[in-house]
Each structure stands twice: as structure tokens, then as C-alpha cells.
Amino acid sequence: MKDLTLDIRIEKTENSRLSTVDFNNIPFGKTMSDHMFVADYRDGKWQDLRVVPYDSFQLSPATSSLHYGQSIFEGLKAFRNAQNAEEVLVFRPEENAKRLNVSAERICMPTIPEEIFMEGLHTLLEIDREWVPNTPDSSLYIRPFMFATDSFLGMRPSETYTFAIITAPAGKYYSKALRLKVEKEFARTAPGGTGFAKVAGNYAASLLPAKLAAEQGYDQLLYTDAKERKYIEESGTMNVMFDIDGTFVTSPTIPVEDTILRSITRLTVIELLEEMGKKVEERHISVEEVITAIKEGRLNGAFGIGTAVTIAPFASIADEGIDYELPADYTFAQELKDKFQGIQKGEIEDTRGWTYKI
Ligand code: PLP
Ligand code: COI
């Protein structure tokens, strides 16, 4: 038990929905747990910290985030400790707290003190502990978010905000290897834009290209740089990694490129790969390099990395109307995923203090 110092008001529900959840069949993001953490930013400070029953917000039609998109979010996961099912392990929450503030600063929102993020999360998960699944391939997906709440149609940063954390038990995000398409027409962001921040608008920009690709049978896109349409950046919900001749290549994030989200899963995976004695290169990688490696049989495999998707192997990559199949016998992505999830779930010793215990 950590020392909690903040004054957080608690109001528990009298109508828990827990018994209605089938923990063996939990679609991603549909069922929310019983409670949520909320804090309001008013008069220049965060106030009224509370854990209350999950419920709708009441918003004015002129709420500025609805019009101008001052809205940011995070995504992280909690698991039951495999060594002690009473204990909940949250994976690297401090990193999400830091990144939320990077996003906040980019779109003129107030930052949230890390202790409010951490103690709010801790208090919420203590109350909704029973919502953390104990079934294979499942977790409690945690969604912290912040949005502008001024009721004002003028174009300026809002003066008031709400920060909240909601959670949802989740099963697998993808259940098969992904078919990717290189995207050269649409961009989700551009240099100088908001790609490195987890702002709602980036996701809005990616919906149409993703929908068009889905109509052609693709699961996800590989966005290319907005200027030259030459280098692979990332996918709509994950960073990407290519195993070329045994070297793991992934595009650089900030401070080198401001168009790619700095994935916390990727930071973790890079450390795990290095520990396994693998060579990792964070550098620009062109579409041409990837396609040539596929043609020459030097691309052992490729996968997406992110909280929701964990490690998601690719089945094929399409470029200029041609589908290039990737080796179907690439087992390393699963090996890496087992190691990564083993640490998240307490099956493998966490030597770096990545898991936060509740
Ligand atoms: N890239 C984008 C655009 C994402 O939405 C996500 C998901 O959060 C990621 C990458 C992976 O980041 P993380 O590993 O921190 O979840
Ligand atoms: C996450 O991995 O948390 C994401 O942001 C993906 C989400 C947009 C579904």
C-alpha cells in the first residue's frame, strides 16, 4: 500500500454491474467498470478530486472541446498478479502520466500533477479491483483523459477542464495477424503538428483512411511521412518494428521526429530485445527498404506495438497495389509477447520496477 496524501472524495455505487460481465468474452472497450475518477480544473487549479459511480457528464452544447478538439487521452493496462491474484499490477503508469502532460502542453491545456494521476488511479483501482480480469489474454484497460469544458464559442484555450479515468475489462484487441497497407495519400499528422501527442484529433484524421483501407480488406495502415511519402512512420494505434536480418528496426520518435507517438510498449520492447542480445536500430526506414527486404527474403517478420494491441504480428504489407506476404512461420513476435506479458502479469520477475502494485 502506497502512502496516499490527497483528499479524494469517494462515493460508491449501490448497483454494481460486475455480476453481468462475462469475463471469458470481453470485447475491447464496451463495458466500463463501476466507478470513475474525476477532477476539475477551475480558477487555475485542480480541485474536487473524486471517485464516483461511472456516469454521463453533463455538458453545455457550447463546450469548447466539442468544437475545437482540446481533448487528450492515455491508454494503459492492469493485470492480476500471477503470484498473488489479490494484487493488481499496473504497467508503467508514471510514463503515461508524463506523456499525458506532453500532450497537454502541445494543445494549451494545463498539466496534471503526477500525484493526482497516480493517486486517482490507485484509489479507483482499489475500489474496482474485482473488475481486473483473471482470464487468459485479458486485462483491465485504463483510459485517462482530459478535455476542455468552457462553454464559449470564441477561439482561445479553455480556462476550465475535466480530467477523468475510466476503466474497461478487455480481451484481445486483434485475434489474427494483420494485413497492412502503406498509406501515401492521407496523413494523420505532419512535421510541426501533433503526431507526438496523444490528442483526439490525430485519431479523427486517421478514421477515413482506415475506413477506406478496411473496405479493401486491410486491418491497419502504415503511415508514411507527410512530406516525401517515403519513410514509414507508424500505424493508427501502434508503433511498428521490422526484423530485417535479425536487426529490429523502428522509426525514431521525439526528439528526432515529432510525427510519431512515443510508445511506452516500444520503450519496453527495446529494452527487452537488448536484454535478449538482439540488435535494435531506431532510425528512418523507407517503404522501399522494407519491400526490398521482403523480396530478398531478409524480412524475418514485422509487428505492431502498443498498449491495446500488445505485440501484433503482420501477415502482409501492401504497397502500390501489390500485397507482399510476410513469412507465416515467424514465431519470434509471440516469444516477445510472452516475455512482455509475463512481466506485466508478474509471471516473470520485474527487475526494473515497471509494475505498480495495488
Ligand atoms: N501509436 C499510436 C498512434 C497509438 O495510439 C498508440 C497507443 O497508445 C501507440 C502508438 C502505442 O503507444 P503505447 O505503447 O504507449 O500504448
Ligand atoms: C492504446 O493502445 O491505448 C491506444 O491508444 C489504442 C486505442 C486508440 C484503441
Q: Which of 96, 172, 196, 237 to mutate to test the pocket of ligand 2 (most atoms within 8 A of CB)?
A: 237
**Ligand 1 atom with minimal separation from the 239 CA:** 10
Q: From atom 12 of ligand 1, which residue's Cα is the shortest distance away?
A: 263
Distance 73 CA to ligand 2 centre (A): 9
For 207-227, the pLDDT digits (tens) are 999 999 999 999 999 999 999
CATH topology identical between 9-172 and 178-344 = no
Q: What is the per-residue pLDDT for 28? A: 87
**Ligand 2 atom with minimal separation from the 237 CA:** 6
Asked if the model's pLDDT at residue 135 lies above 90, the reply is no
For 257-307, the pLDDT digits (tens) are 999 999 999 999 999 999 999 999 999 999 999 999 999 999 999 999 999
SS3 string, 164-217, reads EEEEEEECCCCCCCEEEEEECCCCCCCCCCCCCCCEHHHHHHHHHHHHHHHHCC
For 147-167, the pLDDT digits (tens) are 999 999 999 999 999 999 999
9-172 carries CATH number 3.30.470.10: yes
Question: In Å, what is the CA distance from 184 to each residue of 217, 222, 287, 318?
Answer: 17, 9, 10, 11
Domain regions of the chain by residue span = 9-172, 178-344
Which architecture, in CATH terms, is 178-344? Alpha-Beta Barrel (3.20)
The cell for 280 is 535494435
**Ligand 2 atom with minimal separation from the 265 CA:** 2
